[in-house]
Chain A
Amino acid sequence: MRTTSKIAAVALGTTALVPFLGAGVAQAADGSTMATLRPVALNGVPANGTAMVTVTGNRINVTMAASGLLPDNPHAAHIHFGASARHECPTASDDTSGDGTLNTTEGGPAYGDIVVSLTKTGDTSPKSGLAVDRFDTAPGGKIQYERGSINVSSDVAQAIVDGKSVVVVHGVDHNNDGKYDGNTKSDLDPSLPTEATDPAICGVLAAAPAGGMDTGAGGTSDSSTGMLALGGGLLLAAAGTGTFTARKARNRA
């Protein structure tokens, strides 16, 4: 009796585990994604860049290059995702405050919450979203960032592979005085000016093209060999009938 119930418990436990194992396998997403980073609407930062994220299971490797940012100031950079977000970069119509610029919160409906903080060292979770001392300071206005083996949840890995996540680099010097300042406080952290956290450049991490290209119609494929053989054969036959004709003619002569 006791043994039976033990077996039953084990069986039940195994059954209960199966869906989780299944989910784990099904969500082990692999893929290469890429985002071309372009200026966020309204914020007018003359910067550009590219981010590449390679997903292997629950790990991601990130490389990113950008230029044209405010030099020598920290630029928070994140991967954003929200299940109900639009999975895109914000547009001018996201300026719900109507102040003529977009802050990070206003971009939320477009790109969702922070899911990965692209810090240079230490924690990479959303908790480090404003760890300004650990983000790239863009010497010369340039970011050259490379970081491997960042852990993400299965959901985030899947969202990235599916082209639903967005890379955002923050930090906008609205008044062009070479530093983050101004009276408007950050919507994310009132101890910072909004310039420090407003989104500067943005791009959707899109899946790389699948497979190769169909770039030929076969006009120069090797069928000319067959044509040569057929033509040669006909010429040979002509030589045969020609000889026959000639012989007939000679006989008559």
Chain B
Amino acid sequence: MAHLTRFGDRRGSIAAAVTVLLLLLGGGLVAKALTRPEAPAQPPAAEAVAPTTAPPVAPQATTPTTRPGAGPAKPSSASSPDFGPIMEPSPPVSLDIPSIGVGTKGIVDLALDKDGKLQAPTDFAKAGWYAAGPTPGEFGPAVIGAHVDSKSGPAVFYRLGALRKGAQVSVHRKDGSTARFVVDRVARYSKADFPTAMVYGDTKGRAELRLITCGGAFDHATGHYVDNIVAFAHLTS
């Protein structure tokens, strides 16, 4: 500042001081914005309808095809379905998804809140497993959820929206075994119109996995994202 007073012009020195201040503030903000992570990847929004690729189940002839409300009341005979690979129950201990850089240890148990909604892990650095449902590898949809971000930056499932069909997902289990899944599809659903039956319902003879995080716009009023991103995967071995 000393060399500025040499000019003897108060307006000049004030302008110089303001310049320095603006440079510091502006530069700081730009630097912060640039070093801050990009908004998380988003898969295309999906309609809440049945998946286009039906999971392979029993041959057509033996699959019960009677739809609700489509005629008289006669239970179809049970088919002799050929279920896919199914593992013994064992809770998950860690999760690896190499294609999106997820390698998380110490999976916590998740439960439902009083409204029946699945609670997220309290720890932004941990994934959680819906412990009242099947363990990953058992018949049915095992559910693992994790945060996309914390208040300050990316969390465990920050890149879930970038996951693609065919990607490998490995769940290491307490009994020492590993359940290996392959991703069938990744979709984004409005929380207001969440396809509960598709995500948590019958998996038609397959051991499947659901990976859930948040997506879409962030609603500052509620403090929550408006969408969920869901990855659907099935057990291969």
List the interface of chain A (C-beta within 8 A of B). Answer: 31-32, 34, 36, 38, 48-50, 52, 54, 56-57, 59, 61, 63-65, 67-68, 118-122, 124, 144-151, 206-225, 227-228, 230-238, 241-242, 244-245, 248-249, 252
A245 to B66 alpha-carbon distance, docked (Å): 83
- A115 CB, nearest partner CB in chain B, Å: 14
Type the 1/0 row for B62-78, where 1 means its CB is closer than 8 Å to any CB of A.
Answer: 01111011000111111
Closest B residue by C-beta to A210:
B116
A231 is contacted by which of B29, B76, B115 (Cβ under 8 Å)?
B29
User: Given B28, B64, B154, which contacts A149 in the complex, CB threshold below 8 Å?
Assistant: B64
Tell me, rounded to whole Å, the shortest Cβ–Cβ distance linking A63 to chain B: 5
A213 to B120, Cβ gap below 8 A? yes
B205 touches A144 (CB 8 A): yes
Chain B residue with the shortest CB-CB distance to A149: B66
**Interface residue range, chain B:** 35 or more
Contacts of A120 in B (CB 8 A): 77-78
Interface secondary structure of B, over-half rule? loop
Residues of B within 8 A of A227 (CB): 29, 32-33, 36
Cα separation A221 to B42 with both chains bound (whole Å): 11
B75 touches A217 (CB 8 A): no
Distance between Cα atoms of A219 and B40 in the complex (Å): 10
Question: B75 to A151, Cβ gap below 8 A?
Answer: yes
B228 near A228: Cβ-Cβ < 8 Å: no
Chain B residue with minimal CB distance to A249?
A: B7
Contacts of B56 in A (CB 8 A): none
* Binary A-proximity of B18-43 (CB < 8 A = 1, otherwise 0): 11101101111111111011111000
B15 cross-chain contacts in A, Cβ below 8 A: 241-242, 244-245, 248
Which B residues from 73 to 91 make CB contacts under 8 A with A? Answer: 73-83, 86, 88-89
Indicate whether A234 sits within 8 Å of B212 (C-beta atoms), given known contacts A48-B89, A119-B78, A150-B75. no
Minimum distance in angstroms from B153 CB to a CB of chain A: 5
Complex alpha-carbon distance, A50 and B194, angstroms: 24
Q: Is the CB of A233 within 8 A of B26?
A: yes
Tell me if B182 is interfacial: C-beta within 8 Å of chain A: no
CA distance A59 to B32 in the complex (A): 58
Task: Confirm or deny: B152 has a beta carbon within 8 angstroms of a beta carbon on chain A.
Answer: yes
